[in-house]
Amino acid sequence: MNKCPSIPEEKAIAEIERLHCRIAELERIEEKYQEILVELTEKEAFNFALFQYNPALSVVVDREGRVIKSNVAKKKAAGRLPNIGDIMYRDYASHHTVDMYAELMNAISTGTIRRFDELPYNDRILSVTIAPFPQGAIVISEDITERKNAEHDRITLIDELKRALEEVETLRGLLPICASCKKIRDDKGYWNHIEVYFSSHARVDFTHTLCPDCIRHLYPEYWRQLQERTEAKA
């Protein structure tokens, strides 16, 4: 029966020491790996929170434009929510006035961000940004209809104020008025009744009546009746 050759004690001790060092090295690698894993987990949770709880309505698509996920804001928004697997701008939101699917594919293929500041969609106005990344793109949208309506109302109000100021400037200064018939001469040299002049220059409509002095002068009998009624009430 053959016996295994004996290993010198010094060599065995050296081998054991080498194994201990290797084990310690592997333990350090494992510890570092766990630290990196925790850090990556925290970053993933942070990035997930940034996407999910971003107030902007966001949809993530893959490189073929298929919907992968939508954030909380998109899920809470009015209107239909895209289904997972829908082709963005074909199965979902396909009624734009421009070919948004082509714009999406172009952004993904070129890695170029595409922005549409005022994009009409049905009776709404949207602001849309397509932000590509290696695995697809994030489509961010905002309904700016109310803001655009407010801007339109503000511009309309400013225009009305400008016109009012122009009318005030037109009426400012001396007006050539006839001392007899009270007609007013306009800037073209034509004489107009005072009602016509102010109606065309200040958008003022007149309602005709008589002042007390004219009533007394033109209709003395009616004036006396008015006086008697007033005294009776007093």
Going by pLDDT thresholds of 50, 70 and 90, the confidence category of residue 18 is confident
Q: What is the overall mean pLDDT for the chain?
A: 85
Indicate if the pLDDT at residue 1 is higher than 60: no
CATH of domain 55-145: 3.30.450.20
Q: Which long-range contacts (CB under 8 A, 24 or more apart) does 201-209 make?
A: 201/167, 201/170, 201/171, 202/167, 202/170, 202/171, 203/167
Percent of the chain with pLDDT over 90: 35
Domain ranges of the chain: 55-145, 173-233
Q: What is the pLDDT of residue 93?
A: 92
Closest CA to 168 of 160, 176, 157, 179: 160
Q: Are 119 and 127 in contact (CB under 8 A)?
A: yes
Which pTM was predicted?
Answer: 0.56
CA distance 229 to 232: 5
Token pair 């714009």: residue? 103
CA distance 223 to 227: 6
CA distance 109 to 111: 6
Q: CA triplet 73, 90, 61: central angle to 5 degrees?
A: 50
| Number of C-beta neighbours around residue 86 at 10 A | 18
Q: What are the backbone angles phi and psi of residue 51, rounded to the nearest 5°?
A: -75, -50
Token pair 């309309």: residue? 156
CA distance 222 to 233: 17
Closest CA to 60 of 40, 80, 42, 86: 86
Indicate if the pLDDT at residue 220 is higher than 70: yes
Token pair 């766990």: residue? 34
Indicate if the pLDDT at residue 154 is higher than 60: yes
CA distance 59 to 86: 11
pLDDT (tens digit per residue) in 166-203: 776 666 666 788 877 778 887 788 888 877 777 776 66
Q: What is the pLDDT of residue 4?
A: 54
Q: What is the pLDDT of residue 69?
A: 93
